[in-house]
Amino acid sequence: MTGTLILAEASASLPVLTVLVVLPAAGAALLAVMPRTRPDLFKPAAVAVSAANGAVAVWMMADFATGADAARFQYVERYDWLASLGASWHLGVDGISLFLVVLTALMFPLTIAGIDAEHSPKPYYAWLLVLEAGCLGVFCALDLFAFFVFFEIVLVPMYFLISRWGHGRRNYAATKFFLFTMFGSALMLVAVIALALLHARASGSAVTFDLVEIATAQAVAPTTARWIFLAFALAFAVKVPLFPVHTWLPDAHTNAPTAGSVILAGVMLKLGAYGLVRFGLYLFPEASVHFAPLLLTLGAVGIVYGAVVAAMQRDLKRLVAYSSVAHLGFIVLGTFAINTEGISGGLLQMVNHGVSTGALFLLVGMIYERRHTYVIADLGGLQKSAPRLAAVFTVVMLSSVGLPGLNGFVGEFLVLLGAFVAHRWWAVVAAVGVVLAAVYLLWAYQRVFHGPASGANAEMADLGWREMLLMAPFLAAIVFMGVYPKPVIDRMEPAVDALIAHIDASVDRFDEPVAGDRP
Amino acid sequence: MMAQIGPVAAPAVDWAGLGPVLALALGAVVAIMVRTLARRLPDWVDWAWTALVAAAAAGAAVSLWGRVGAEGPFNAVGDQFGVDRFSLLVTAVIAVSVMLVAPVLHGFCQREGWSGPEIYVLMLLSAAGGVVMAGANDLVVLFLGLEILSIPAYVLAARNLARIQSLEAGLKYFVLGAFSSAFLLYGIALVYGSTGTTNLVGIRDYLSRWVVLSDAMLLAGLALLLVGLGFKVAAVPFHAWVPDVYQGAPTPVVAFMASAVKTAGFAAVIRVFVVAFDLRSGDWQPAVYALAVVTLLTGAVLAVVQRDVKRMLAYSSIAHAGFVLVGVQAASGRGTAAAVFYLAAYSVLVIGSFSVLAAVSGPGDSRTGLDDLRGLNSRRPALALGFTVLLLAQAGVPLTSGFVAKFEIIAAAVDARSFWLAVVAMVSAVVAAFLYLRIMVAVYSSPDGGDGAGDAEESAEPLAVPVLTGLVVAATVAVTVGVGVLPSVLHDLARDAIPALVAAG
């Protein structure tokens, strides 16, 4: 072992991560007991709680030790949970999860503040806060039991958000979402337990669900580990979603309320992608290397398939949903290139996709609020009536396309670089996807914003100051991370290097594909 | 006729060990006697007394728990009735079930205009039978316990005289129950024929000492025992009575049947198969494996296609029985602990769920269709939220007792290397989740039948929920979430609940 993945000694006395996870849940409980007679208080309370959480996350990012220290888990907390079963409340962040935690903790206050509940505000905000707690828990958990609990619990609030506040066939979409993801994680539960028990048997230690311990020991026989990895990978593939188990995503997105779509795209799709890194590469280095071609292929297929299907959509929201399939294909491609560039690019893309696709869904939601339709053919010429909306949409869309100077470019470039070094032809296929992304997004933009405006399109209201204020942080992040990604990469890279070193040490004859190695 | 009949040696009786059974049985007798003499007593006396008696039984079990810890398992009556931590935990589950069902029954009886203590007395007697089964050290005692458990349950199922389905349920339950008793008796006879004893200790000793070479009779006996007990725990293909009986019987009675009766049945299965026939586990494990697979899949799939919520929960209870069978199949200490954990968690869950239905079903106890639940959220938001938690727990969502219970079962199966069975169980859980989602969709849709938003403002006719029923639902929800967040207490209890067979002496 390289020694870089050791636990930090009980670092901070303040349980930052527990606060991050528990605070929103407590906020939800608070909302639940607030009097019905004061509906005007629900939203401010939810905003206050989630904003406080965001502040904690930002403070943590500033306080996060950089350099070599960024590779180890920080703010580690560990308490017994279900001691007799070997499960513990073990939380920690490293450079890999840090930005996902920050993204989550900032995305929620923006979404909660920016979008009003259409009805029943009390359960609406309460479920959003529960969702925040669950998502943060997934990114912080370093115990397989705790991870599974959080990974699964996020289904419930999202189910209710879609089925109670959604549109169209919301019950169908919500049920499909719930069952698809539950099916994936059902097999993962068996795999989690099998891994813990087999690890205990192989290493002769007591049963533990501790991620770091199991990953460090690598005690389970490789052939068994491959089976277990497949069960994990299936769960994550559904959650990501990877082609061909992505079919719940367009339905969920199309019928979800705007806040649901933003959180789904911005945060929840990262749960699976993050899982592939932390509970795929880190936990099963050998199996990951073994199955990398499979996942690379699925990722590449997803890129092209998502792009082609997105180009054919008549519904703007569905188009953005399919573009997510393509983007997530990129992330998986980078991750399973298994080199520093690829994984860093994938991680960066997770954050980028959260920001830009989250913003896209917000904008699409704003158009829907005004025009009550997502159908592209019914829209047109919006640029004239809503120039500010068009301008913001342009920037966000270009970030999603991967224009240099905006955030999407950096991540996409790194992914392609990593993939090209490792597996040339997959990178070529993925590069086609980049071109296609430009095609479908620009084409959609053209149809929605250009051309003659007629009827309601001509009289559509532009963005108000509140909406501009909501979009401002997204635009700032898009530009900042495009121009100066160094602070992010500085914190990310050491952890990625440590991960590569971990894989290197655990897998025979594994050499990290490095740029320049080949003739 | 010619044989000399000597004095029958009275077995040594440890009265304290019989505490829970005596409390329940005597409590039932006192209730019926006092109420016959003093007819003017208010109605609430019945449920209060029932709950008190059940609490006394639970208290006796708790004090015996400590004694078993100090002195080890012992026999209460000769070598016929054992007291170990397994039987005590099962006793506690049964007693707590009675305590939770009694207040719901009170509200239900008031709404239906039933008075008199009979229904409570029958429930107490049935519970006493369940406790006997949990501790039975002899197949004959087990059979007696089973009959004491079942016969009151037949009557309870048919109690709603105004409803033809209730009578049908009682009759069906009775006929099939008698049928299964016959199987069980035949099985006992065959086991006696091949081992020479009906005593579980004796059977285990016999099997450990002798190799039964021509074991066809023993295997047939085992098979018949499995069929007889399979009826009681509603394993597929012996489940046919469940949907009709659950749909027809008065709703609080169903809560009792799905919790206490099922728990007692599984206690008997574990006692006979996992403990007494431990050495023949190679013979019965494949059979239980097959039963578990069929039970899991049939229960989940058929639950989904129902239109009546009581029927849905009936089929889902079959799927849950499949989960417990997975724990039994492991034939290990871990499996037994997991099964007991599951039964305890599920009993609380199912009582809560049927309590909600008892409140919703309306006068006559017939409004339990999926459509009758529509708009529950706008009529009674708190009740809807509680019901949601209970349903999610049944689906196995984390931070509820249902998840931990499934977790324990899967761990036991994986530990016994039954990986595929674990996978089948989880697949069945996903299929069953669809059922709970269907119910939740109805609960949160608007009452007019449309797919409206379900605003609290557009509330339909108010729903009268008896205070006691509401409290029971709240208590079950609290236990469900409490065990889900901090499962250690129940986990350790279940881990310590080791069944034991103690020889006489």
The pLDDT tens digits for A263-272 are 998 899 999 9
For the segment A83-98, the average pLDDT, to the nearest whole number, is 86
* pLDDT tops 70 at residue B184: yes
For the segment B153-171, the average pLDDT, to the nearest whole number, is 89
B210 CB within 8 Å of a chain A CB: no
Distance of CA B351 to CAs A287, B260, B313, Å?
45, 10, 11
* pLDDT tops 70 at residue B238: yes
Q: What is the pLDDT of residue A11?
A: 45
Q: What is the pLDDT of residue A240?
A: 87
Model confidence band, residue A514 (pLDDT cutoffs 50, 70, 90): low
Q: What is the pLDDT of residue B114?
A: 87
For the segment B272-276, the average pLDDT, to the nearest whole number, is 92
Reported as a single tens digit per residue, the pLDDT across A103-122 is 999 999 999 988 888 888 88
Model confidence band, residue A341 (pLDDT cutoffs 50, 70, 90): confident
Q: Do A84 and B491 touch (CB under 8 A)?
A: yes
Helix B200-209 vs helix B164-195: crossing angle, to nearest 10? 40
Q: Which residue has the higher pLDDT, B427 or A2?
A: B427
B489 CB within 8 Å of a chain A CB: no
At B342 the three-state DSSP class reads helix
The answer to whether position A4 is within a domain reads no
The average confidence (pLDDT) of chain B is 90
The answer to whether position A177 is within a domain reads yes
* Six token digits for residue B441: 């969709």
Reported as a single tens digit per residue, the pLDDT across A29-64 is 888 888 888 888 888 888 999 999 999 999 988 888
Q: Which residues of B170-201 are buried (b: 16+ CB within 10 A; e: fewer)?
A: bbbbbebbeebbebbbbbbebbbebbeebbbb
Q: What is the pLDDT of residue A6?
A: 39
Reported as a single tens digit per residue, the pLDDT across A58-73 is 998 888 887 777 778 8
| DSSP 3-state percent helix, strand, coil across chain A (nearest 5) | 75, 5, 20
The answer to whether position A445 is within a domain reads yes
Rg of chain A, C-alpha, whole Å: 22
B442 CB within 8 Å of a chain A CB: no
The answer to whether position B222 is within a domain reads yes
For the segment B169-195, the average pLDDT, to the nearest whole number, is 93
Reported as a single tens digit per residue, the pLDDT across B454-464 is 444 444 567 88
The answer to whether position B501 is within a domain reads no
B40 Cα distance to chain centroid:
34
Place of tokens 């279940």: B494
For the segment B415-424, the average pLDDT, to the nearest whole number, is 92
Q: Do A119 and B419 touch (CB under 8 A)?
A: no
Q: How far is A389 from chain B (nearest CA, A)?
A: 30
Q: Do B454 and A164 touch (CB under 8 A)?
A: yes
Q: Do A186 and B495 touch (CB under 8 A)?
A: no
* pLDDT tops 50 at residue A4: no
* pLDDT tops 70 at residue B40: yes
**How far, in Å, CA of A115 to CA of A134, rounded?**
20
| C-beta separation of B139 from B190 below 8 A | no
Q: How far is A305 from chain B (nearest CA, A)?
A: 28
Q: What is the pLDDT of residue B469?
A: 92
For the segment A264-292, the average pLDDT, to the nearest whole number, is 90
B426 CB within 8 Å of a chain A CB: yes
Q: Do A163 and B441 touch (CB under 8 A)?
A: yes
Model confidence band, residue A230 (pLDDT cutoffs 50, 70, 90): very high
* Six token digits for residue A314: 């008549």
Per DSSP, helices labelled H in B234-332 are 241-248, 251-256, 262-269, 281-304, 309-329
Of A118, A179, A197, the CB nearest to B414: A197
Reported as a single tens digit per residue, the pLDDT across B85-109 is 999 999 999 999 999 999 999 999 9
* pLDDT tops 70 at residue A7: no
Domain that holds residue B396: 19-496
* pLDDT tops 70 at residue A510: no
Q: What is the pLDDT of residue B455?
A: 44
SS3 of B183-198: the string is: HHHHHHHHHHHHHCCC
* pLDDT tops 90 at residue A427: no
For the segment B224-246, the average pLDDT, to the nearest whole number, is 92
* pLDDT tops 50 at residue A1: no
Q: How wide is the angle at C-alpha A339 spanned by C-alphas A502 and A433, nearest 5°?
A: 145
Q: What is the DSSP string of B97-152?
A: HHHHHHHHHHHHHHHHT--SSHHHHHHHHHHHHHHHHHHB-BHHHHHHHHHHHHHH
Domain that holds residue A480: 16-509
A193 CB within 8 Å of a chain B CB: yes
* pLDDT tops 80 at residue A196: yes
Model confidence band, residue A140 (pLDDT cutoffs 50, 70, 90): very high
Residues of chain A with Cβ-Cβ distance to B397 below 8 Å are: 152-153, 155-156
Q: What is the pLDDT of residue A10?
A: 45
Give the lowest-confidence range in A10-24, A285-299, A502-516: A502-516
For the segment A223-246, the average pLDDT, to the nearest whole number, is 90
The answer to whether position A5 is within a domain reads no
Residues of chain A with Cβ-Cβ distance to B411 below 8 Å are: 85, 193, 197
* pLDDT tops 70 at residue B451: no
Q: Do A84 and B492 touch (CB under 8 A)?
A: yes
* pLDDT tops 70 at residue A515: no
In chain A, the number of structural domains is: 1
**How far, in Å, CA of A260 to CA of A257, rounded?**
5
The answer to whether position A260 is within a domain reads yes
Q: What is the pLDDT of residue B456?
A: 43
**How far, in Å, CA of B113 to CA of B325, rounded?**
39
* Six token digits for residue A290: 């073994």
Q: A with B: how many residue pairs have Cβ under 8 Å apart? A: 90
Model confidence band, residue B4 (pLDDT cutoffs 50, 70, 90): low
The answer to whether position A7 is within a domain reads no
The answer to whether position A466 is within a domain reads yes
Q: Which residue has the higher pLDDT, A381 or A416?
A: A416
State pTM to two decimals.
0.92
**How far, in Å, CA of B307 to CA of B368, rounded?**
9
**How far, in Å, CA of A214 to CA of B237, rounded?**
42
Q: How wide is the angle at C-alpha B137 spanned by C-alphas B135 and B139, nearest 5°?
A: 110
For residue B171, report the phi and psi dihedrals to the nearest 5 degrees: -65, -45
Residues of chain B with Cβ-Cβ distance to A175 below 8 Å are: 434, 437-438, 441
% of chain A at pLDDT higher than 70: 95
The average confidence (pLDDT) of chain A is 86
CA-wise closest residue to B355 among B287, B218, B253, B494: B253
**How far, in Å, CA of A208 to CA of A144, rounded?**
9
In chain B, the number of structural domains is: 1
The answer to whether position B439 is within a domain reads yes
A438 CB within 8 Å of a chain B CB: no
The answer to whether position A384 is within a domain reads yes
* Six token digits for residue A265: 């795209």
The answer to whether position B193 is within a domain reads yes
**How far, in Å, CA of B126 to CA of B115, rounded?**
20
B164 CB within 8 Å of a chain A CB: no
* pLDDT tops 90 at residue A449: no
SS3 of A423-470: the string is: CHHHHHHHHHHHHHHHHHHHHHHHHHHCCCCCHHHCCCCCCCHHHHHH
Reported as a single tens digit per residue, the pLDDT across B327-368 is 999 989 899 999 999 999 999 999 999 999 999 988 888 888
Helix or strand (DSSP H, E) at A47 = helix A42-63
For the segment A76-93, the average pLDDT, to the nearest whole number, is 85
Q: Which residue has the higher pLDDT, A338 or B124?
A: B124
